[in-house]
Chains A and B, each alone.
Chain A
Amino acid sequence: CTSIIAEAPNGTLYHARNLDFGLFLGWDTENDKWALTEKLRPLIINVDYQSGGKTVARAVHFTGYIGVLTGVKPGVLTLSMNERFQLDGGYVGFIKWLLGDHSGKWMGFFLRETLVSSASYEAAKSSIMTEELLAPAYFILGGNSSGQGCVITRSRETMDNLEELKKTESGWFILQTNYDNWKTPPFFDDRRTPATKCMNKMTKEKAGLAGIYNVLSTKPVMNLLTTYTALMQVNSGYLETYIRDCPQPCFPW
């Protein structure tokens, strides 16, 4: 996955992400595609959460999966989650939960609660930083005001790192893939370098959903695992999602 929050010169925040999934979960030899990824694409749907006839949140779902991985709460926050690989991974939390320790929260359900219930960026940030989870992850959180954006790197029980939008090298965008952002990404899966290059090339002056979509469409930021690209703008509560299918030749991940 690749998630980006960018701030335009007028302070408007944009949040977008590629959701990549299905690595090593079967290969379709006929079409040269990841088998599970291919099956997930037709299930993608934007969900408008309504209560009392009013929208309280919008999120992108795979039909049948009721947790949230990408979403916007109009006027309040935007949120996306990227998978984090750790030896002490989700299967450890899952086994602990099966053995009766229910203190940790399920990832998709936790994000849905955070999205629908959080009253502010700061409240969501605090919750993501401190809640015990069943699996590690990277949380990319955007607020509704200039400078409000961060990447929270989580282990199951603790927060490992907090990177703030204001303190990044560029000062106007923050970008997260599937590797710890304070370490060099592995040579065999470096989407951070091309994405950063393309963001810098776009410049802050041209920051917007169209420009970020172009960055997320550049190989290998987009790759054979990419299922969708979602574009969000917090103040308007805007959510736009497109199914992606990386044309060959394309990176496998």
Chain B
Amino acid sequence: QDVPPFTEDCRTDAYPPNEKDRVKTFVLNLDLPPKERWSNLAKEKAPELKAMIQSIIDLVGSVVNVTEAIAFIDKEFALLADQLPAPYGDEMKGIATAADIPLGQVVLYNVFYEIFTL
């Protein structure tokens, strides 16, 4: 592992990157009801989304009882969805349904920036 200070010269050859790394585009139709907007994408990416949320739960489980933590997140964070400003709560409900993930876990993921600073 290189150590600071930085050891690599300025790159001049990185662009264009490999096409396989280019990110695809999803069209979000704002004219749809909030619960339906993300459904197709959430369904398509459900396995990856579940794996990522499981990674957070594993992390939480390394410091507290994982079963209790999941029960707490599923119940208490789900309640937050109705308190969040529109249309975000409904969009999260739509994602939870489409990806078959407990709503509380989707809410936790969406407020992670605020909590992560802890």
Contacts and interface: CB of A to CB of B under 8 A. Distances in A.
A217 B13 CA distance: 9
Contacts of A94: 111, 114-115
Given A42-B48, A43-B48, A220-B6, A135 B117 contact: yes
Contact of B110 (A65, A194, A209, A241): A65
A140 B78 CA distance: 32
Interface in B58-112: 58-59, 83-85, 88, 91-92, 95, 99, 101, 106, 109-112
- Interface hub of B16, B25, B117 (most chain A Cβ within 10 A): B117
Contacts of B92: 66
A87 B99 CA distance: 35
Nearest to B47: A42
A46 B41 CA distance: 11
A132 B71 CA distance: 32
Nearest to B37: A66
A213 B15 contact: yes
B1 A56 contact: no
A39 B51 contact: yes
A240 B45 CA distance: 20
A134 B8 contact: no
**For chain A, which range describes its interface: under 10, 10 to 19, 20 to 34, or 35 or more residues?**
35 or more
Contacts of A219: 2, 6-8
B23 A228 contact: yes
**For chain B, which range describes its interface: under 10, 10 to 19, 20 to 34, or 35 or more residues?**
35 or more
- Interface hub of B15, B45, B56, B83 (most chain A Cβ within 10 A): B15
B44 to A, nearest CB: 8
B99 A214 contact: no
A85 B118 CA distance: 9
Nearest to B87: A66
Interface in A22-53: 25-26, 35-36, 39-40, 42-52
Interface in B17-33: 17, 21-31
A190 B23 contact: no
Contacts of A210: 15-16
B33 to A, nearest CB: 14
Given A45-B23, A251-B2, 10 more contacts: A48-B26, A49-B28, A51-B29, A63-B49, A64-B49, A64-B101, A136-B117, A217-B14, A242-B22, A251-B6
21 contacts: A35-B55, A39-B52, A40-B52, A45-B41, A46-B25, A48-B25, A56-B30, A60-B23, A62-B52, A63-B48, A64-B42, A66-B88, A85-B117, A91-B115, A94-B114, A102-B83, A188-B4, A193-B5, A202-B10, A242-B23, A252-B1
Interface of B: 1-2, 4-17, 21-31, 38, 41-42, 45, 48-49, 51-52, 55-56, 58-59, 83-85, 88, 91-92, 95, 99, 101, 106, 109-118
